[in-house]
Structure 1
Amino acid sequence: MAVPNQGSPIKIHSYKHNGQLHRTWQETTVLKATKTRVIGANDRTRVLESDGRTWVTREPAICFFYTKHWFNVIGMLRDDGVHYYCNLSSPFIYEAGAVKYIDYDLDIKVFPDMTYTLLDEDEYKIHRKQMNYPDVMDRILWNNVSQLIQMIHQRKGPFAYEHVERWYEMFLTYRSF
């Protein structure tokens, strides 16, 4: 699999299980890319929804995408600390200048004190039935919810505050050019 170049801009494409494009982030700067993960950052980037609406992100964000996990993590740097948004998703692929993944509805919102809330279980149940998520997919996704919760409790990977801060400092060096 090809990987994007460090420092280059990419797009992020989120799809639904039925193949429909769900959401596109217009520009994210690649901070690190390997065959198993991409770490990117953006700030005030335009987001296009599938229904044509657009909006702009409000704060700097560090994005972690994986090929070996069924989730991605976005750390948003706000005045009161790092807030995380975790999407249960397919592992990503990199294609045509974009990180692409399938969004499977379930999300975990994590607050700076590391408390968290599981979101969108109702939406997941509806889409699982409508789009025929296979039973094996259901097991994979719930296992990854458990894995994410364990990482949150242990403050591992993206949930280590210093980790996000270090990537944000690198992002600022790219923006100064």
Structure 2
Amino acid sequence: MTGTPRPVVFLPVTGGQASRLVAEGLLGGPLPGYSATADLCATFDLAPGGEDAEFAAFQVASVAALLAGSSRLVLVARPRTALLNQAGEQGNGGVEIGALELHEVEAFFTDTEPSVCRSASRGAAGHTIDEAWELPEVQAVLAEHPLSWHDVSELAAHLELQEG
């Protein structure tokens, strides 16, 4: 019997959170994330269920990661829907995860050159996602420095490189 597919959630996390997830197999919450919700689709005038809606949620998570620090790290997960609730930033697809297990993570995105985000991160500090989205330095990072995709199996090695 095939169940309903779990929704894709983009979770901006810090290196410390990602390290805990790798070491313990579990990251306790609540954890903010972004998904292609009906509210996000309405905000961005997108059709529900499409790749464009998922990309919009990913971009919002990228900005949220920028607000959280000078380097962007976004996990791509399909968490258990029982733990998925709408939360703040509803117009931007904001959801909240009660907890995240490592096996629920499919991939991650990260900056190839974290230093390029430092100025944008400093400029966006203290802003909401919507305010930061409008800043020229944030738009430049989104347009000129796309995040690099990695399979979840590479997460531990990536974190070791960042620490070393």
What TM-score do the two structures reach when normalised by structure 1?
Answer: 0.31
Q: Considering fraction of residues, name the structure with more helix.
A: 2
What TM-score do the two structures reach when normalised by structure 2?
Answer: 0.33
Structure with the larger RCO, 1 or 2 (CA within 8 Å, 6+ apart): 2
